[in-house]
Amino acid sequence: MKNDNIVWHPHNIKKLDRANQKKQKPCLLWFTGLSGSGKSTLAGALEERLFGLNRHVYLLDGDNVRHGLNKDLGFSDSDRVENIRRIGEASKLFVDAGLIVLSAFISPFKQDRDMVRSLFDEGEFIEVFMDTSLETCEQRDPKGLYKKARSGEIKYFTGIDSPYEAPEQPEIRIHSTEANFEQSVDQIIDYLHAHKIL
């Protein structure tokens, strides 16, 4: 519920000032895909590469955020929506601070990803779709979650009994079954150079 007594307080130092101080163009790379598609692994590899290039970068990982900021949320459709809303707002603050932000979340619903995109200026939101088949993700099953979902131990599991709406026109599409992570990092770095973010 909106409180009419809360007023936005403007400050003199702006996003552009913080970006110029860091000598980079802030943005959000939003990694989306099924569990086991490689989102966190690729985002971590990209974070290391960008850090090595002396870029100010921060990674927000779905599981890690649920240990703190979103620990009160479950995995129902409504909780998933709120999970993405909160991380979208948090990412916006990090971008406003002048950082290159990497967010690795399943984020299964197109409407929620579009909502996060709407928080950012043109070109700041970069959707990275981990285009990995359910079969491949289930074969990998690094956390044993698909097995639990198939046995009924986990409810509302994306790809099993909860839908995943794949992006139709992501800025970057990664076929993680075909390329290794080093090549995928190169693909993202090339995109960032081409769009004058690096």
Tell me the DSSP string of 118-162: TTS-TTTEEEEEE---HHHHHHH-TTSHHHHHHTTSSSS-BTTTB
> How far apart are alpha carbons 163 and 60 in whole angstroms?
23
186 and 48 Cβ atoms separated by less than 8 Å = no
> How far apart are alpha carbons 2 and 25 in whole angstroms?
32
118 and 88 Cβ atoms separated by less than 8 Å = no
The one catalytic residue among 35, 103, 107, 176:
107
Tell me if residue 176 is catalytic: no
Among residues 43, 28, 32, the alpha carbon closest in space to that of 119 is found at 28
Catalytic residues: 107
